[in-house]
C-alpha cells in the first residue's frame, strides 16, 4: 500500500484535507543534483540507464517531498523503439536525421516488442519503486501520437510544426498509418509500465494546440481516446493537452481520471468546460515561478481556492523552466502542503 495516497485519492475524486502536488518536469534541469549527472552522461544515456533514470526520478522527492514522482524519461523513446533514429543535440534539442515525409518512409517503421525495445524503462520503474519504498505513487507517461508525429515529420522542434501539419493535410492516409503505429506502440508501452509498477499514467499532448478544433479531433484526439480506452481499467489516466482548451469537454468525458489544464485557461473556465465533475490538474504558469516566493505563495493559495481543494491536483501549466530558483520551487510545493481552507 502507498503510504501517502493523496494523489491517487484525488484521481478518484475523493474528499481530501488538501490537494496533492507535483510538478511536470520536476525530475530535471532546474536541480543542481541533476545538472551534476548531466555533465557526466549524455541525455539518452540518462534515459536508458535504469540506475540513472531512477536516481533522477527521486532527486526532487528527496529535496521537496512532492506527493507523486514522475519517472525520468522522454517521449521520444517511443520513435526510437519504432526504428526511427532520434538524437538529442546539446543546445538544440531533439534531432531526427531521417524525418518521415512520404508514405514509403513508413516501410521501415515498426510496432516493436516493447518489453525488449524499452526494457530499460521498465527496469527503471522497478528500481524507482524500490527507492520510493511505497511512500508515494509513481507516474509513467507518454507523448500523444500527434505530438510524436510532429517530431517524426518535422525532424526537430518547431514553433508551428508546419511540415507536420502539411504532411497530415496532403497525405492523410500516410499520416493516419503513422499515427496508428504510434498509438499501438504507446498502448503496449503504457500497459507494460503499469505492469512494471507505475500507479498512474499521463499522456502529454504538447503540440495539440497547433491544430484547429476540427483537425484536433481527426489527427490527435481519436488516437488519445484509443489510449484512454485501453488503459483506464489498468490504471488512472491523466490527459494533458497544451493549448487544447477547446477539447476539454471531450477529455472530461473520455474515461480519463483527470484532465490537465495549461495556464491560459482560468480555473473557472476549466471547471465549466469539463462539466465540474472530473479531477483537474494544473495550471500555474511555469514562468510565474520566477516571481518572489511570497508572490508565488499568494498566487498558489488563490489558485487552490479557485479550483477547489477536491478533485484537484496542484501542478504547473507545463514543465518547470530550467532557470527557476530552488527556493521558488520550494515555495510552490510548501504552500500546497500547508494549505488550509
pLDDT confidence of residue 146: 98
Q: Which CATH number fits domain 20-279: 3.40.50.10310, 3.30.230.10, 3.20.20.210, 1.10.760.10?
A: 3.20.20.210
Q: How far apart are the first and last CA of the chain?
A: 28
Please choose, from the candidates 341, 338, 329, 336, the residue with its C-alpha nearest in 3D space to the C-alpha of residue 290: 329
Burial of 11 (0-12, 13-18, 19+ CB in 10 A): buried
Query: Would you state the torsion angle of the CA atoms of residues 70, 75, 76, 78, taken in this order, to the nearest 10 degrees?
Result: 100
pLDDT of 329 strictly over 90:
yes
Domain boundaries, the chain: 20-279
Give the strand pairing for 237-241 and 258-261: parallel
Q: Could you report the per-residue pLDDT of 232-290, keeping only the tens digit for each? A: 999 999 999 999 999 999 999 999 999 999 999 999 999 999 999 999 999 999 999 99
CA angle 81, 77, 279 (to 5 degrees): 125
Q: Could you report the per-residue pLDDT of 11-65, keeping only the tens digit for each? A: 999 999 999 999 999 999 999 999 999 999 999 999 999 999 999 999 999 999 9
Cα distances (Å, whole numbers) of residue 125 to 70, 271, 283: 10, 33, 27
159: which residues sit within 8 A by CB, 6+ positions away? none
What is the percent of the chain where pLDDT is above 70?
A: 100
315: which residues sit within 8 A by CB, 6+ positions away? 21, 22, 23, 24, 260, 281, 282, 283, 284
Beta bridge partners of 261: 282
Rounded Cα distance between 108 and 87, Å, is 18
Q: Could you report the per-residue pLDDT of 57-109, keeping only the tens digit for each? A: 999 999 999 999 999 999 999 999 999 999 999 989 999 999 999 999 999 99
281: which residues sit within 8 A by CB, 6+ positions away? 238, 240, 258, 259, 260, 261, 312, 313, 314, 315
pLDDT confidence of residue 99: 98
Give the residue ranges of the annotated binding site. Answer: 25-29, 44, 74, 151, 206, 318
pLDDT confidence of residue 106: 98
pLDDT confidence of residue 341: 78
Give the residue ranges of the annotated binding site for substrate. Answer: 25-29, 44, 74, 151, 206, 318
pLDDT of 126 strictly over 90:
yes
Rounded Cα distance between 64 and 298, Å, is 19
**pTM of the entire structure?**
0.98
What average pLDDT score do residues 158-172 get? 97
- Cα 71 versus chain centre, distance: 10
- DSSP secondary structure letters along 284-298: E-GGGGGS-HHHHHH
Radius of gyration of the chain, Cα coordinates, nearest whole angstrom? 19
Amino acid at each position: 500500500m502507498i503510504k501517502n495516497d493523496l494523489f491517487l485519492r484525488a484521481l478518484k475524486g475523493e474528499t481530501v484535507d488538501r490537494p496533492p502536488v507535483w510538478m511536470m518536469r520536476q525530475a530535471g534541469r532546474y536541480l543542481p543534483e541533476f545538472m551534476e549527472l548531466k555533465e557526466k552522461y549524455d541525455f539518452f544515456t540518462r534515459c536508458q540507464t535504469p540506475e540513472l533514470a531512477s536516481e533522477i526520478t527521486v532527486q526532487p522527492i528527496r529535496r521537496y517531498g512532492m506527493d507523486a514522482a514522475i519517472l525520468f524519461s522522454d517521449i521520444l523513446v517511443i520513435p526510437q523503439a519504432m526504428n526511427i533514429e532520434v538524437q538529442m543535440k546539446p543546445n538544440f534539442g531533439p534531432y531526427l536525421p531521417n524525418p518521415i515525409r512520404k508514405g514509403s518512409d513508413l516501410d521501415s517503421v515498426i510496432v516493436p516488442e516493447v518489453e525488449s525495445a524499452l526494457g530499460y524503462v521498465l527496469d527503471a520503474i522497478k528500481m524507482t519503486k524500490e527507492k520510493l519504498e511505497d511512500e508515494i505513487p509513481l507516474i509513467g507517461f507518454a507523448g500523444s501520437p500527434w505530438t510524436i508525429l510532429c517530431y517524426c515529420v518535422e525532424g526537430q522542434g518547431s514553433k508551428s510544426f508546419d511540415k507536420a501539419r502539411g504532411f497530415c493535410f496532403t497525405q492523410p492516409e500516410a499520416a493516419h498509418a503513422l499515427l496508428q503505429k504510434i498509438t499501438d506502440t504507446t498502448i503496449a508501452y503504457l500497459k507494460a509500465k503499469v505492469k512494471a509498477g507505475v500507479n498512474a499514467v499521463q499522456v502529454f499532448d504538447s503540440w495539440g494546440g497547433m491544430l484547429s478544433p476540427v483537425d484536433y479531433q481527426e489527427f490527435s484526439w481519436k488516437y488519445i481516446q484509443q489510449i484512454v480506452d485501453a488503459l483506464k481499467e489498468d490504471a488512472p489516466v491523466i490527459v494533458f493537452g497544451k493549448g487544447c482548451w477547446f477539447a476539454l469537454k471531450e477529455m472530461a468525458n473520455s474515461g480519463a481520471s483527470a484532465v490537465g489544464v495549461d495556464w491560459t485557461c482560468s480555473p473557472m473556465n476549466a471547471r465549466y468546460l469539463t462539466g465540474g465533475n472530473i479531477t483537474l490538474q494544473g495550471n500555474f504558469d511555469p514562468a510565474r515561478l520566477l516571481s518572489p516566493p511570497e508572490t508565488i505563495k499568494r498566487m498558489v493559495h488563490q489558485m487552490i481556492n479557485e479550483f477547489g481543494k477536491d478533485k484537484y491536483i496542484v501542478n504547473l501549466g507545463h514543465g518547470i523552466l530550467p532557470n527557476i530558483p530552488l527556493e521558488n520551487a520550494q515555495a510552490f510545493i510548501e504552500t500546497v502542503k500547508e494549505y488550509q481552507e
